[in-house]
Structure 1
Amino acid sequence: MTWHVAEDDVRAYARGELAPPMLWSADTHLAQCVDCRALLTSVTDPVALDAGWERLDAELDAPKRGLLESLLVRVGVADHTARLLSATPVLRRSWLGAVVALLVMTVLVTNAQQASVSPTLFLVLAPLLPLGGVALSYGPRFDPTYEMAVVAPLHGFRLLMIRTVAVLVACLGLNGLATLALPEYGLRALGWLLPALALTTTGLALIPRLGPVLAPSLVGGAWTLSLLAAYEIHGGTLAPFTPAGQGVAAMVAALAAGLLYLLRDRFDTRPGAFPGVA
């Protein structure tokens, strides 16, 4: 090799001051020339070189942002909040795909029957999806970032609310799309919305006492059993989907939201802070 990078240019390269196009030539040449690399080593400050390697290692070891996290950061969500949201188990494709498949099958069955003035099967199922999503989004049993959340300077209530909002947006959005596939029922097909909010807020309000898994499970079980009992007794349109039932659901949602606010200081991500969190 008959050409070498001048020593002054090598020093400028080491200081990060070499400008294109000489920078490009030096990069290409240093990759092939042992003598110039030895010169670069001799003129480079060892401390600066070590710091550069440390920065490179940190950059290579840093976790890569996924699609959801990148989108959240682009729309202005803080980095740490976007990381917590993207790690929510129920926002992954497997869960969302299962929810979509369940809603599609429910809509198909409801459209096939069309024997009732109300899409009962769909209305019974739809409120359970956001409640189940909340149960699966928080706590050590399902959250892959639970240990990180425990040591993070983040209040447990805030973490739960961040996850809950994300779950509600996803589930209510999917439920809304499924509702559009039931046009013959009109506004009756939206009867699931207030019960969904009532069940979710009630489950959240019970978490400090019962834990993030047991509380939503009991609320969902009580909802299912009460509807089955009402259907056996009365049949037809079930009480929660009548105007009076919708008013009761709105009242329950409001009361549960108020209770949740009063209990906000009882949410803590430290181990043993409340039942169900180990």
Structure 2
Amino acid sequence: MTADIGDGGWHVGAQELRAYAGGGLVAPAVWSVDAHLAGCAVCRAALAGVVDPERVEAGWERLDAELDAPRAGWFEGLLVRAGVPDHTARLLAATPGLRGSWLGAVAGVLVMCVAVVTAAGSPGGSPTLFLALAPLLPLLGVALSYGPALDPTYEIAVVAPLHGFRLLMIRTVAVLGVGVALNGLATLALPGYGLSALAWLLPALALTGAGLALTPRLGPVVAPSVVGGGWVALLLVAKAVRESGGAPLAPFTAAGQGVCAVVAVAGAGVLFLLRDRFDRSAAVR
């Protein structure tokens, strides 16, 4: 390294100082200059004369931004380690429908339903209470995951560099996956009912698809409310016309399951056709 000899010993040369200030020095030269500057006021003063003030200010701004950046929680960190991009992991971690309070409430409702069905049901019967409530839980979770009325991070989410439809789908898939998983665990607690205990799955997909398809028109609160109210009304009508007390309600028969499958596919198709409205609709924005 070229150096100037001064009264106090050697000093870093002007060319090396300029390279150091511009980030052009490489190890081990940069280490040597670092160590020397720590104890040499003359070289520090010389360095101040060659450093661009705007570059220093930009460096401080980057440091402030790094120090002020929020630290990732355990869930966000787990998603990043699993390969999820940083910005997507942040959006998922901030999803209201994935919060501990919501998941705890869902788990509590499912436990209560399983306990009631187990206590009052019979191996040859139908877990009607569980089947009626289970499809509503994913719908409610999706409703909580998007929209200005219920999402406290809505303003941050809408300015993220993402298509509105993609943002909705990211959160919907996450919430729907968690809701279906919780329902599935509850179903395992009802082994006496066999495959009939899984009759909630297609209605859950149908209700979620219908609610999302109506969101551009009715908004993220009214749409799932209408769909959920329609489901409850359908169950009441099916119960009123049921011929015998032991027969399953219409939505949980083979024909009813087929209709639910058609509604789920139709809802997905309509949602795809209306995907651009999630960036323009005043109801969502």
* TM-score, normalised via structure 2 length: 0.81
Matched, 1:95 2:106: no
1:229 Cα offset (Å): 2.4
Displaced runs of 4+ in structure 1, greater than 4 A? 11-19, 35-42
Paired position in structure 2 for 1:65? 72
Counterpart pick for 1:122 among 120, 124, 130: 130
Among 265, 270, 273, which residue is 1:259 paired with?
270
Once the two structures are TM-superposed, the CA of residue 148 in structure 1 deviates from its matched residue by 2.2
Instruction: State the Cα distance separating 1:160 from its structure 2 match.
Output: 0.9
In the other structure, the counterpart of 1:156 is 164
The change in CA–CA distance for 1:138 and 1:43 in structure 2 (over 3 A counts) is same
**Corresponding pairs, count:** 264
- 1:216-255 counterparts in 2 under 5 A? 216-234=224-242, 235-236=245-246, 237-255=248-266
1:163-188 per-position Cα deviation (integer Å, ceiling 9, x unaligned) = 11011111001101111111111111
Cα distance 1:49–1:224, how it changes in 2: closer, same or farther (>3 A)?
Answer: same
| Residues 210 and 274, structure 1, Cα contact 8 Å, conserved in 2 | no
- The 1:212/1:91 distance shift into structure 2, 3 A limit, reads same
Q: How does 1:1-278 map to 2 (within 5 A)?
A: 40=44, 43=47, 45=51, 47=53, 49-115=56-122, 117-234=125-242, 235-236=245-246, 237-268=248-279, 273-275=281-283, 277=284
| Identity value in percent | 65
Structure 2 residue identity aligned to 1:126: A
Q: 1:49 and 1:261, CA in 2 relative to 1: closer, same or farther beyond 3 A? A: closer
Bigger-Rg structure (1/2): 2
Residue 119 of structure 2 aligns to a residue whose secondary structure is helix
C-alpha displacement of 1:38: 8.8
TM-score by length of 1: 0.83
1:153 partner SS: coil
